[in-house]
Amino acid sequence: MVKEDYKSKEEAREKPVVRCKACITRFEVTQDATEAACPECGAEWRISWPEPDTPYIRGSK
């Protein structure tokens, strides 16, 4: 009899991040944000969410 080892669901929950297309810094974006500015170089990006937890840079603002 195999006992399944169910761990708690408290997996390290990654925050949604994108990678700046200008300086390749990865930075967090607010969930469901439609735009975000890179903290490193200040570039502003339009964000879309192809999946609920996965932001994607659509292009510059």
Strand runs (DSSP E) across the chain, as ranges? 17-19, 26-28, 35-37, 44-51, 54-60
d(CA 18, CA 24): 9
Tell me phi and psi for residue 52, to 5 degrees: -55, -30
Q: Which residues would be at the binding site for Zn ion (CB under 5 A)?
A: 20, 22-23, 25, 38, 40-41, 43
Q: Which is nearer to Zn ion, 15 or 26 (CB)?
A: 26
**Cβ 50 to Zn ion shortest distance, Å:** 21
Of 32 and 40, nearer to Zn ion (C-beta) is 40
For Zn ion, the closer CB: 22 or 49: 22
